[in-house]
Chains A and B, each alone.
Chain A
Amino acid sequence: MGLVSLEYLFFLLVVFLFYFFVPQKARWVVLLAASYAFYTLCSWKYLPFIAATTLTTFYAGIIMGNIAGKARRRMADCDDRTQKKDIRAAAQAQKRLVITACFLLDFGILAVLKYYNFFASVTMSILGNGLPQLELLLPLGISFYTFQSAGYVIDVYHAKYEPDKNLAKFALFVSFFPQLIQGPISRYDQLASQLYEPHTFDVVRARSALRLMFWGYFKKCIVADKLAVLVETVFNAPAGYSGAVIAFAAVCYGIQIYADFSGGIDIIRGVAQLLGIDMEQNFNQPYFSTSLSDFWRRWHITLGNWMRTYIFYPLALSKGMTRWGRRMSEKCGRYIGKAIPLCVATLVTFLAVGVWHGAGWKYLTYGVWNGAIIALATLTGPFFQEFYKRIHFNSECRIWYCWRVLRTFLIVTIGRFFTRAADVKTALFMMGSVLSRWKGDGAFLQTVLGLGVSWKNLIVVAFGVLMMIVVGVLRERGRDIRGWFEQRPVLVQMSLELVGVIFMVIFAEYGTEYDPADFIYAVF
């Protein structure tokens, strides 16, 4: 049951009616039942995996909470400072043991299901013979809910908040159905309380939620799914196309993946909002970023936050790294001593980002590419700032801003060759083609029109992209589009909504003979 299906909308309607029909206090139970029903409808085979992750993280939290509670009580009864320190250290060691066991289980499941075959192929290529390839099930949203649960356990470990004492409520936090397909990776302290608290039906909010969903479907069905055919055609057989066509397909892929992922997230956030729950933003006009690090603060924000909170900062601020930085400062100067540990932490973090996206060298390369560029920018940034100052260059001017936006888009697009192409070799070949075979045998326009998308459909896509740009610019300028819309006269609102619906009915990609392209991030 995909997000772009009548079944999903019908399911949503049933959940919505039940949710607001039952007494307020029991509404979270409806959400839990709906979440497990949704997962079962997708495939009952997924259930044991999400249940295992739920149970391990819940009990890990409970055990760590108990350890911390016991330690607190013992410390309260004790006056000796050294003894207190010992109690704290012992508790910390016990908690570390619990969290390690929990991670071994949760990430173990993820590692086996998602990375085993890659590992087996690597051992095969190195040793000549090794582990056999297996047909493994990859449960829907496993990367999302595993990371979300891991975030909770780490926060409990750091005593950021008390562990959840109610297994059913915690199960809802892990399995909340809108986010199962492609996130966002929510934080416990941001989402959980909203899930449990009683919500009342608010018409204005519901209308706003429906509009958000509509915008999501617009991006998915008007832009992403139409471009999917073109992108697939070129990336599946790049040897047959000129560099110009490959570059065009790469740019289209950039648009497609944004429309696809952000469209899906808009639908998900709209669904949650309909039920009275605000989910975190996952995008903030990423293609207006002026640098790659800025891009990663605007693209897949929840994953970026997760990586920053649970990998980058702990690593960059770890004792070992601080010591190493100090040593580097003594040898190479203060700046290098500060920058190098940051660069290493960045590289490791982006390696993790790459691994999160999938199993394969191409994903690792993707991570390295992003990490290396950001690390390089960290290292060279101050030099460039100094250089601009010396030549009296205004780096805040509009033209320079546009160039930086364009440059970031190019860097991001280059990185995406790795994730979209079949493998690293193909990605490099495609990049090489862009540089060395710009002009192919056929005319560019003629070739593009032969990529499975008619020129009329390309115009529709262009219109969709234009709408996305306009909305992006307005949001970038801080305009509240939905608020503005809500203030128009009712008839104007309804007329515009009707035009929107008609536009979607005619031009969107859907229907019985149409197989909707899977959400790209649903497979990560």
Chain B
Amino acid sequence: MKKTRKEIIRAVSFLLAVCTALWLLSIPFTVNIWQSKVTVQGVTSQPDDTLEAVYIGNSGVYRFWQSALAYQEYGITVMNFATASMPGIATEYLMEQTRKNQNVDLFIVDLRAYTDSELDGANLHNIIDYFPLSWTRFKLVTRLCLYQKYWPFEALEYYFPVLRFHSRWDELTKDDFTAAVDTTKGSYYYSDFIQTVQTEHDTFLTTENRTEPQKRAQKALNGLLDYCDENNIKVLFVAAPLLEHENQKERLNWFCDMVEARGYQAINFNSEPTYDAVGLDVSTDFMDNTHTNVYGSIKFTDWLGSYLVENYGLDDRSGLTGYESWNDAYAIYSQKIGNKPTMYFEQLAGLTD
């Protein structure tokens, strides 16, 4: 009996050691998707209780909301927690992780995360791989893998990304061993974002129709609302503007109705009054059918920032001790933007003066 116990302890210890090693190895071996890395590591490494709100979603967030600009304009500290095509089902876990060290007044959730039906493994890796090692991460991985039916064997690479990316051993660099430093608080300034203007559409189409989304997407959103109810979490739902995808707009309308019916507020930027209020211009403000470019994002940030201050009472924290990094973030962000074509720089200057 004593021998058996000893052997069991030995086996369990070995398994734990292997799991720990796999977790630790996963840190450098994960592919360096810079935007995802800086976003996830950026928001989770902010000093305690310095964020007023966190904006969760996918590219419908980080290509619209510019945190550094919002701070410069209104002194509010609202950071993105968003990765490419992040599935809405992950939102609850992002909230849980945020609440570990941030006492946020508000979560803003982009409903577009619930309307992307086509997901692949890369989308899951984007959000999972840079997530801090924690029980929340374990739950997030389990939920996402079950949601995507990556089970049981495919799930292993999400628990231990090194199993997926181990062949990178011969291309590892110093950057892989260091955490990403988000110097612009998640602001977006990449060249395509600054230089591109879509030319496919010349008008912004709106619709009042509603199409029922997939059942599993409804279930996912309902689950989030239940979680928010249980934990008394204040949430503002938004639907970032799209140029086409009529069906997706109809599903967003449906989702807005759904969250409003559950007592939450929703701002649908695809509706004509809101779109007009923001002042977006199809001919200059979109880089493609689903994302604004730098100019559109500036307008969007300006409008939503003002709305958050007025309606949710977010405080002006500019000049306060402990928020110096936000000033630096804006300086870097504006510099990055400023090095790009003059038109945008001038527009930016006009907006921020």
Chain A residue nearest in CB terms to B13? A494
Given A10-B152, A511-B163, A502:B21 Cβ within 8 A: yes
Whether the pair A454, B170 counts as a contact (CB closer than 8 A) is yes
Chain B residue nearest in CB terms to A5? B153
Whether the pair A506, B25 counts as a contact (CB closer than 8 A) is yes
Whether the pair A490, B10 counts as a contact (CB closer than 8 A) is yes
Chain A residue nearest in CB terms to B156? A6
Partner among B3, B156, B162 whose Cβ is within 8 Å of the Cβ of A506:
B162
Whether the pair B152, A505 counts as a contact (CB closer than 8 A) is no
User: Chain A, 435-455, contact with B by CB distance < 8 Å: what is the 0/1 string?
Assistant: 000000000000000000010
Query: Which residues of the partner chain B approach A456 to less than 8 Å between Cβ atoms?
Result: 169-170
Given A454-B170, A511-B166, A498:B14 Cβ within 8 A: yes
Chain B residue nearest in CB terms to A455? B170
Given A505-B162, A511-B163, A512-B157, A498:B10 Cβ within 8 A: no
The yes or no answer to B231 lying at the interface (CB within 8 A) is: no
Complex Cα distance, B169 from A454, in Å, reads 12
Cβ < 8 Å to A, chain B residues 1-25: 3-4, 7, 10, 13-14, 17-18, 21-22, 25
Query: Which residues of the partner chain A approach B166 to less than 8 Å between Cβ atoms?
Result: 505-508, 510-511
Cβ < 8 Å to A, chain B residues 138-179: 152-154, 156-157, 162-164, 166-167, 169-170
Whether the pair B170, A498 counts as a contact (CB closer than 8 A) is no
A508 to chain B: closest CB distance in Å?
A: 8
B353 to chain A: closest CB distance in Å?
A: 51
A-B residue pair count with CB separations less than 8 angstroms: 51
Whether the pair A505, B22 counts as a contact (CB closer than 8 A) is yes
Whether the pair B21, A494 counts as a contact (CB closer than 8 A) is no
Chain A interface bracket (under 10, 10 to 19, 20 to 34, 35 or more): 20 to 34
Most B Cβ at <10 Å: residue of A497, A507, A511: A511
Given A10-B152, A498-B21, A511:B170 Cβ within 8 A: no
Cβ < 8 Å to B, chain A residues 467-515: 490, 494, 497-498, 501-502, 505-508, 510-512, 514
Chain B interface bracket (under 10, 10 to 19, 20 to 34, 35 or more): 20 to 34
Cβ < 8 Å to B, chain A residues 6-43: 6-7, 10
Partner among B3, B21, B22, B167 whose Cβ is within 8 Å of the Cβ of A511:
B167
Whether the pair A498, B164 counts as a contact (CB closer than 8 A) is no
Most A Cβ at <10 Å: residue of B121, B156, B163, B170: B170
The yes or no answer to A397 lying at the interface (CB within 8 A) is: no
A503 to chain B: closest CB distance in Å?
A: 10
Whether the pair B18, A512 counts as a contact (CB closer than 8 A) is no
Given A10-B152, A507-B169, A497:B14 Cβ within 8 A: yes
The yes or no answer to A284 lying at the interface (CB within 8 A) is: no
Query: Which residues of the partner chain A approach B13 to less than 8 Å between Cβ atoms?
Result: 494
Query: Which residues of the partner chain A approach B29 to less than 8 Å between Cβ atoms?
Result: 506
Whether the pair A506, B169 counts as a contact (CB closer than 8 A) is yes
Whether the pair A457, B170 counts as a contact (CB closer than 8 A) is yes
Partner among A490, A505, A507, A512 whose Cβ is within 8 Å of the Cβ of B154:
A512
The yes or no answer to A203 lying at the interface (CB within 8 A) is: yes
Whether the pair A498, B17 counts as a contact (CB closer than 8 A) is yes
Query: Which residues of the partner chain A approach B162 to less than 8 Å between Cβ atoms?
Result: 505-506
Q: 4 nearest interchain CB pairs?
A: A456-B170, A6-B153, A203-B7, A506-B169
A-B contacts, 20 of them at CB < 8 A, read A203-B3, A203-B4, A494-B14, A497-B14, A498-B14, A498-B17, A498-B18, A501-B18, A502-B21, A502-B25, A505-B25, A505-B163, A505-B166, A506-B25, A506-B162, A507-B169, A508-B166, A510-B166, A511-B157, A511-B163
